[in-house]
Amino acid sequence: MINNQAVLFLIFSLNGVIIGLIFDFFRILRKSVKTSNLMTSIQDIIFWIITGISVIFFMYSFSDGTIRLYMFIGLILGFFIYILAISQYIIKIFVYIIKTVKTILNSIIKFITYPLKKIITFFKNRHYSTK
């Protein structure tokens, strides 16, 4: 019995880490892309729906739907260990990657559109100068 409880405690601790990763996903989105207050509220609702589904899924999958205090303690402990130990590094890495990709894509777009803008300007100027 205690062995089973220890396993469930660890499984729900892992669920807490997964919830922390999902939480960071939304934090990374907010740091990388400007969002309105409405969008932030929508993201919060989505986070809580995903969290609720995750907890219910884990409960039914691993404990036949029974609710025990040690499962919630494991869930909270896993979440806070992730947030305190790993989260800041995950956020920094992914924000850096996203900002780098955005910079590269913006450079490519500017590289492609610059000649087009020059051509359009040239033809506009020719059109107005012939009148």
Chain segment 33-72, per-residue pLDDT in tens: 888 999 999 999 999 999 999 999 999 999 988 899 999 9
- Rg of the chain taking only CA atoms, in angstroms: 25
Q: For a pLDDT cut of 70, what percent of the chain falls above it?
A: 96
Greatest CA separation found in the chain?
A: 92
Over residues 101-115, mean pLDDT: 92
Q: What are the tokens at 88?
A: 């800041």
pLDDT (0 to 100) of residue 129? 61
If DSSP codes are grouped into helix, strand and coil, which group holds residue 71? helix
Residues 87-94: contacts with CB under 8 Å, at least 24 apart: 87/20, 87/24, 90/21, 90/24, 90/28, 91/24, 91/27, 91/28, 91/31, 94/24, 94/28, 94/32
Give me the pLDDT at residue 127, please: 66
